[in-house]
Structure 1
Amino acid sequence: MKRVLSLISSMVVGIGLAVAGATPAAADPYDCRNWYQSSTTAAGTCTNGTGEFRVYTRCNRPLARDYTVYDPTWRRVGTTSTAICHSGGKPYGAGIQVH
């Protein structure tokens, strides 16, 4: 009987430690917005949450295939991310990727 009570009390203590040690899930960045900063650049920012984000945009090139560019650097909440179209591309369809 002592052995059973010891086992049960060990389980209760273990469960209590597991619950106490658990951390809340991180919230992805939110309250994000994007805009076209210039004729070749899309920009964006997120103002709340944790984690990182980056801007992406499609680029339209005359007489060539459209392509997608991403800011190569993941940014922290409260900063600005930019994606630049090269080779005469014009940005359209910008968005924000979070992780």
Structure 2
Amino acid sequence: MKKRAFLLAVAATASVLVGVSGSAQAAPTGCSATAVGYGSGAYCSGGTGEFRAKTRCDKPWAPDYDRYGAWMGVGTWSSFAKCDNGHVAFNATWQTR
């Protein structure tokens, strides 16, 4: 009986470990972002998954705010996050999933 309980414990541990290692995902790589006037663009050239541009926008005499571009596939097109008219983009970066 002890041998059977031991084997069940080993099997359960192995299935948990396989589940953890199987859930790892490759992320986009080779990413860059640039703020250009009223927005920022981001591009990722490798890996898998999706990315989008993120930027902070400076609204004169008011709190700054974040804007996000569309989610894009790796190596396809650039994602662009646009600030409202008259506001300036800064802190250009990207997000991945």
- The question of a shared fold, defined as TM-score above 0.5 by the shorter chain, is answered with yes
Q: Which residues of structure 2 form unaligned runs of 5+? A: 1-20
| Runs of 4+ more than 2 Å apart | 22-26
- 1:4-46, Cα deviation, whole Å (9 max, x unpaired): xxxxxxxxxxxxxxxxxx857320101100113x311200100
Name the CA distance, whole Å, in 2 between partners of 1:64 and 1:56: 22
Give the letter for the 1:64 counterpart. Answer: W
| Correspondence for 1:15 | none
The count of residues paired between Structure 1 and Structure 2 equals 94
TM-score of the aligned structures, taking structure 1 as reference length: 0.69
Q: Which residues of structure 1 form unaligned runs of 5+? A: 1-21
| Correspondence for 1:53 | 51
Match of 2:71 among 57, 70, 74: 74
- 1:37-83, Cα deviation, whole Å (9 max, x unpaired): x311200100111111100100112x333111001x21100131100
- Is 1:27 aligned to residue 18 of structure 2? no
Quick one: percent identity of the two aligned structures?
A: 36
Q: Which has the larger radius of gyration?
A: 1
> CA-atom RMSD, angstroms?
2.7
